[in-house]
Amino acid sequence: MVREIVNRPTFAALMRGEGIRLLSVPFPRWIAVAQLVLAAVAAAVIASIIPITPSNPEATLEIIARLFELVAWIAILCTTLACGNAIGGEITSGAIRAAILAAPRRGRLLCAKSVVLFLTALLSAAATTTGSLAIALPVLAAREAPITWSFAIPIAIAAVGLCTSIATIGLIAFATTIVFRSAAGAVLVVLAVVFIAPSVTAMLANELDAPWLSGALPSVAAHALIMPALVDGPWRALDGTMPSSVPWHGAVVLTAWLALSLLGAGRALAGPIDIARSSPPRSLARGTGDGRAPVGTEWIKLRTLPSTRWIAAGTIAVLVGYGAFRAIAVDLEEVASDLELASRIEYVYAITAGIGLAQLVLGGLAATSVTAEHRFGTIRTTLAATPRRTIVSLRKVAAVAGATAVIALAGLALSWGVVSIIRAIRGTALGITWPLGLASVACGTAYLVLVALLALGIGGLVRHAAGAVTALVALLVVLPSLFNVVLAFARGTPAVWIGNLGAFLPWAGERAYMDVLLGLEGRVFGFAQDGALSLPPAIGGLVLLAWVALALAAWIATFERRAV
């Protein structure tokens, strides 16, 4: 009898193999370079425009704290994308099966991947933080900001907390990708928790008098690891939250999030490795080959994406849930003296409260509708039935616009009804009219459709669902916040034009429809005394339309020439 000898790799060999595999993929390297460049630019801008107080050394540490906060936003955005993509490609292509065959003990494989990815993300975050400081400190010194060697220890402690937080959130994205078996879905969830959830939980925490709710989020926990070393006393973050001043609290919260995500990843990896959940849509091109196939073909393909029904239900739930919560939570009598005006304003805010998250969810659906066909190669079948690529692109635009309009209209209409009922029961329906509610639904639907088309164009350009979602989050959430911070510090200085650039991002469309609904359509184009730019709603809407047109035109033009 011959005993079969199985050569199972050691843990060190597994780590070495995972490191080689990770370094051989160009995508994470490009993301790391982009992270380093963006953080360096942010550091140079902040150090150049932020007010300096020569007589107050503590003010310099507060400047470093703001710089670290901006670096954290940029690094979390890039690291989440890189870590989600690190395992998402293996799951989608089925290459994870080969890795399991080489290392049958799946728990050890998961540990090896996690350790290698955490160390890589930690090194990338350290390089980004060091580079930012290397640029910011000389600029601050040239502007005569008080900098002493006594700052070295608090800055080092804060930098360690910053790098650890970034790497931990990246590892959470990695584990979430294994659970969802989709890098795009995992990236969307993690970025929504990091950038969207803090404002919602802050409102909920104030209403329920439960400050621990905000502290349970990973982004707020990250602040608790960074800020206490640099700032004495309470600190209000750029997202409006009040992080804990106790570092161990942030460490416990981040560890809990990481443990839960890795536990879920371990359970998902222990089961059958079936990628059917990421299966492509049914390609049902029934045309004659001359480009006259119905638009319904694209609609059927979009409808048969496995995630479409869940995204539709989730979007409607988000819009209705946010609206109902805001209608219940806000007490107008405590916050306003003019109840009729406050009632109208809060009515609009309640109906459209969920748009901030819904735009990311619908954008993910729109991006996936085009990236899924490229990922699975079914775009070749579509082009075989309809060789004219421009016709295929336009039919996708029509299908995505129609589907998004139906989902958004249903969600906002239900939100309108629920908010109206709650306000009537609470007796706070003063000044509310049905044309105002109808206008809120119409404007919100139009905005969500345009955002979905923007995501469709980005997805067609990058042909990568997670990359498209990340770019959308950057355009709609991260960059506006960064430019607002720059504008706040640059008012009244020659550098105010840098902050004014934020007015020409896609979020100008959201500001435009809110100005119309709130009766500010008379706002004119011009500059305030401190140099801040003001755009009328019409120009804000045109800015969003220009972004959409540019993204779609670039996608269609490149689709005509690029190989599939």
Quote the distance between the C-alpha of residue 15 and its chain's center: 30
- Mark whether 251 and 354 lie in a shared domain: no
Domain assignment of residue 186, yes or no: yes
Q: Which of 53-57, 320-324, 336-340, 446-450 has the lowest mean pLDDT?
A: 336-340
Phi–psi pair at 526, nearest 5 degrees? 170, 180
Number of domains in the chain: 2
* pLDDT-derived band at 1, boundaries 50, 70, 90: very low
Q: Please say if the pLDDT value at position 84 is more than 90.
A: no
- Mark whether 180 and 310 lie in a shared domain: no
What mean pLDDT is predicted for residues 456-472?
87
How many Å apart are CA 155 and CA 68, to the nearest integer?
10
Q: Which of 174-178, 212-216, 337-341 has the lowest mean pLDDT?
A: 337-341
Domain assignment of residue 3, yes or no: no
Residue 14, C-beta contacts closer than 8 angstroms, at least 6 positions apart: 103, 108, 109, 112
- State residue 274's pLDDT score: 55
Higher pLDDT, 225 or 412: 412
Share of the chain above pLDDT 70, in %: 84
* pLDDT-derived band at 62, boundaries 50, 70, 90: confident
Q: Please say if the pLDDT value at position 475 is more than 70.
A: yes
| Residue 491 buriedness (CB in 10 A; 0-12 / 13-18 / 19+) | middle
Question: In this structure, are residues 269 and 235 in contact, taking their beta carbons and an 8 Å threshold?
Answer: no
Question: In this structure, are residues 56 and 90 in contact, taking their beta carbons and an 8 Å threshold?
Answer: no
Higher pLDDT, 109 or 329: 109
Q: Please say if the pLDDT value at position 292 is more than 50.
A: no
Q: Please say if the pLDDT value at position 348 is more than 80.
A: yes
Higher pLDDT, 511 or 340: 511
Q: Please say if the pLDDT value at position 526 is more than 80.
A: no
- Mark whether 261 and 313 lie in a shared domain: no
Which range is most confident: 102-106, 216-220, 506-510, 545-549? 545-549
- Mark whether 43 and 167 lie in a shared domain: yes
Domain assignment of residue 180, yes or no: yes
Higher pLDDT, 414 or 374: 414
Higher pLDDT, 386 or 394: 394
- State residue 243's pLDDT score: 56
- Mark whether 402 and 448 lie in a shared domain: yes
- Mark whether 382 and 263 lie in a shared domain: no
Q: Please say if the pLDDT value at position 517 is more than 80.
A: no
Which is nearest to 110 in space by CA: 177, 23, 164?
A: 177
What residues pair up with 526 in beta bridges, in sequence order? 534
Q: pLDDT by residue (tens digit) across 156-178?
A: 998 999 999 999 999 999 999 88
What mean pLDDT is predicted for residues 357-364?
88
* pLDDT-derived band at 552, boundaries 50, 70, 90: very high
Which range is most confident: 53-67, 366-380, 448-462, 490-504? 448-462
Q: pLDDT by residue (tens digit) across 216-272?
A: 788 878 888 887 777 765 555 555 555 555 677 788 889 999 999 999 988 888 776
- Mark whether 189 and 121 lie in a shared domain: yes
- State residue 286's pLDDT score: 45
- Mark whether 113 and 184 lie in a shared domain: yes
* pLDDT-derived band at 123, boundaries 50, 70, 90: very high
State the residue for tokens 């700052």: 151
Q: Which of 92-101, 293-302, 451-460 has the lowest mean pLDDT?
A: 293-302
- Mark whether 193 and 295 lie in a shared domain: no
Domain assignment of residue 212, yes or no: yes
Q: Range of 229's domain? A: 11-271
Which is nearest to 110 in space by CA: 63, 52, 49, 179?
A: 179
| Upper half-sphere CA count for residue 23 (Cβ side, 13 Å) | 11
Question: In this structure, are residues 413 and 314 in contact, taking their beta carbons and an 8 Å threshold?
Answer: no
* pLDDT-derived band at 4, boundaries 50, 70, 90: very low
Domain assignment of residue 468, yes or no: yes
Q: Round the average pLDDT of the chain to a whole number and report it.
A: 80
* pLDDT-derived band at 142, boundaries 50, 70, 90: confident
- State residue 507's pLDDT score: 84
* pLDDT-derived band at 431, boundaries 50, 70, 90: low
Domain assignment of residue 519, yes or no: yes
- Mark whether 123 and 232 lie in a shared domain: yes
- Mark whether 334 and 368 lie in a shared domain: yes
For the chain, helix (H) and strand (E) counts, in that order, are 24, 2
- Mark whether 36 and 105 lie in a shared domain: yes
- State residue 5's pLDDT score: 42
Domain assignment of residue 280, yes or no: no
Q: Please say if the pLDDT value at position 454 is more than 80.
A: yes
Domain assignment of residue 1, yes or no: no
How many Cβ atoms from other residues are within 10 Å of residue 101's Cβ?
A: 8
Residue 546, C-beta contacts closer than 8 angstroms, at least 6 positions apart: none
Higher pLDDT, 375 or 500: 500
How many Å apart are CA 492 and CA 494, to the nearest integer?
7
* pLDDT-derived band at 305, boundaries 50, 70, 90: low
Which range is most confident: 25-29, 177-181, 400-404? 400-404
